[in-house]
Amino acid sequence: MLVKATGRSLTDYMREKLVEPLGFESDAFWLVDAAGMEMAFAGLNMTARDYAKLGELHRNNGLWNGRQIVPEDWVQASIHADAPPSATRPADPC
């Protein structure tokens, strides 16, 4: 979806929006599937320090060194469940 909307890879988009503004130690990248598509749902590779910077960005509601990198309302929405737990979940999944 992001590639179609922006014409850019997920890695390139993240480089502009997060990697450079937060001063990551190295470029973050995603694993790719058999078709060469970045797997946005998983497989993000970054250093532990860069993950810590991402955590700090969330802890500060998207603010980094006085600059709003991610909208505060998005950060808040990302840390709250958007659906109630399933009432049909089996007690013993095994």
> What distance in Å separates the CA atoms of residue 14 and residue 28, rounded to the nearest whole number?
8
* Whole-number pLDDT of residue 22: 97
Burial 28-39 (b: 16+ CB within 10 A, else e): bbbeeeeeeebe
Give pLDDT tens digits for 39-73. Answer: 888 889 999 999 999 999 999 999 999 999 999 99
> What distance in Å separates the CA atoms of residue 69 and residue 50, rounded to the nearest whole number?
15
Is this model's pTM higher than 0.75 or not?
Answer: yes
Q: Which two tokens stand for residue 75?
A: 């950060």
Q: Cβ atoms within 10 A of the Cβ of 57, count?
A: 18
